[in-house]
Structure 1
Amino acid sequence: MQNQSLILVTGANGFLASHIIKRLLTAGYAVRGTLRSLDKAAGVQQTLAGTPNLDQLSFVALDLTQEAGWNDAMQGVTTVMSVAAPVFVNQGQASAAVANAAKDGTLRIMKAATAAGVKRVVMTANLGAVGFSRLDHQRPVTEADWTKVDQAGLSLYEQSKLVAEQAGWDYQRQHPEGPEFTTVNAGAMLGPSLNGHVTGSYNLVNRLLTGQAMPNLVVNVVDVRDVADLEVRVMTAPEAANQRYLAVAPKPVSMAAIRTLIQQQRPQLAAKLTKHLVPDWLVHGLAPFNRQLREANLMMRLNHDVSIQKAEQLGWQPRTADTAVLAAVDTLVKNGLK
């Protein structure tokens, strides 16, 4: 069944974007995917081979760090799925300039969407923008929480996502004539990759699989398939206009639990796993002297009781953390990325 709506998805060859596009095409939507180079288009087509309505997928060459082309690309578009981040963020090569680049990219999308009369922009945001200043454990983290920009131990990546999201909300409030704005604030995204592309969150699993030193972090993970599901839900739900939604698995998981899970469910990998996790006291003691340990120290102090009640009201039912972790393990093994 052909849907009359045209959806623009940024970073069409990305880890999450490929899952979103697959869902949209299967549901009958026409999709216009942005790529930094059209040379990547054939690879996306190959990744999605066998997906229904693949003929409804088209591509446009655009760069989030450049003005050129965004207004033209928005023509006829009903909804924008803002999924991509500047490439140097995704590759973990963060610098102080990252936050400004992410902010500028968000504003570029919002301005072009306003000019084209787009109805709604759905932004892939980050749990790090929500609960990373919640060091008390008195109540669950909800969409009403905001991380402080100057939070000690906040990574440059999370800071960039926070600043970009704040820019989107500021724009939405200042431009009532513009599109509705909705964010899906995802935890550490795991699950299967359709094309070998993975996120920085995979490093949590990869370090364990390659025997590297790791603190016993507790993390709120989420399966990429569930993030794609929620983003498509909020795209059309009337009540999702100008709302945030938290996307995490029902329960957090520790590195010790992940190690045990891999030992039990993928025993052929057990011999290479990290043998001893870095003691908490050592992380706390060395945090003032090392950026990575400062970030780990913050993660260890956070409130990981995250409410997903708001998303569940849309009928969203996420997979368990174990399912997301094992799918990530299998992706790393399959693609030889360890």
Structure 2
Amino acid sequence: MTSFAAIGYGHGQKPIFTEEDWSILDGKIPVPAYHKSKTIAEKSAWDFIKNEGGNLELAVINPTGIFGPVLSADFSSSIQIVKALMSESVPGYPQIYFSIVDVRDLADLHIRAMTDPGANGRRFIGTSDSGPVAFIGIAKILRKSRPGKAQKAPTRQLPNFLVRTVACFDPAVRGMLPELGVIKNISNEKAKTVLGWAPRSIDKCIVDNVDSLVKHNIV
């Protein structure tokens, strides 16, 4: 598994991203170090298979943000978004969009790629059918589905000019600016047509995520 980080960064606005795309590391749009590392690592893996792999086979899964139920208090950074929306009182969130895949669907996709001969030599984007969602969209799902647990979820999205102003003084916010207001439409058709994959909805993914955080006394 690598990541959508190896596909969708460093580009200008595109109609849709597919497995044919690679993140552009030497262009005009800054790419974070994490995304660079994922891109370089995956390209190295494909180069190895081509030049030295012999009879080895390679299929790569490129997931978007991984959400869904957790098994303990030890969870990924993506889940921190849901935890923060439920437990931190903030005036609003920036207009940052991201796509989601349920961890259970991602596990299923890995198994399909490992066991289906048609997967060899291919990349597969793992993402739900629902398309990109903003922070405020996640907050709306929380307030609708689990209102008793979402009293602190923000009710408004911060205007872009305000985020850009804050970025002048906050390096962490400054790093968000290339993605501010950018909506990345992503195709998951290859995973569905080649491997017969069927991902859950974002709503189901987020609600099960919330319920697991409550179950493990994380929020």
2:162 match:
282
Does 1:131 pair with 2:3?
no
2:89 match:
211
Does 1:163 pair with 2:44?
no
Contact 1:126 1:185 in 2 (8 A): yes
1:276: how far off?
4.1
Evaluate the alpha carbon distance shift between residue 166 and residue 288 of structure 1 in structure 2; reply closer, same or farther with a 3 A threshold. farther
Greater per-residue strand proportion: 1
**Distance of 1:290 and 1:160 partners within structure 2:** 24
1:325 match:
206
1:164: how far off?
1.7
**Distance of 1:177 and 1:217 partners within structure 2:** 43
1:153: how far off?
4.6
State percent identity of aligned pairs.
30
CA-based RMSD of the aligned residues comes to 2.1
1:224 match:
103
1:183 match:
60
2:50 to 168, 173, 176: 173
Question: When the two structures are superposed, what TM-score results if normalisation uses the length of structure 2?
Answer: 0.87
Evaluate the alpha carbon distance shift between residue 170 and residue 289 of structure 1 in structure 2; reply closer, same or farther with a 3 A threshold. farther
**Distance of 1:153 and 1:189 partners within structure 2:** 23
Q: Secondary structure at the match of 2:59?
A: strand
Task: Read off the aligned partner of 2:215 and give its amino acid letter.
Answer: K
1:315 to 196, 209, 212: 196
1:208: how far off?
1.3
Count of aligned pairs: 214
Does 1:262 pair with 2:142?
yes
Contact 1:153 1:291 in 2 (8 A): no
Does 1:146 pair with 2:146?
no
Is 144-153 or 195-204 further displaced after alignment? 144-153
**Distance of 2:196 and 2:175 partners within structure 1:** 34
Uncovered stretches (5+) of structure 2, i.e. residues with no partner: none
**Distance of 2:72 and 2:147 partners within structure 1:** 25
Does 1:193 pair with 2:70?
yes
**Distance of 1:289 and 1:126 partners within structure 2:** 30
**Distance of 1:261 and 1:243 partners within structure 2:** 34
Uncovered stretches (5+) of structure 1, i.e. residues with no partner: 1-123
Task: Read off the aligned partner of 2:217 and give its amino acid letter.
Answer: G
Task: Read off the aligned partner of 2:79 and give its amino acid letter.
Answer: Y
Contact 1:134 1:302 in 2 (8 A): no
Task: Give CA deviations for 1:261-294 in whole Å, capped at 9, x if unaligned.
Answer: 1111101123222354332222234446544323
When Rg is computed on C-alpha atoms for both structures, the one with the higher figure is 1
**Distance of 1:186 and 1:140 partners within structure 2:** 15
Question: When the two structures are superposed, what TM-score results if normalisation uses the length of structure 1?
Answer: 0.58
1:300 match:
180
1:233: how far off?
0.4
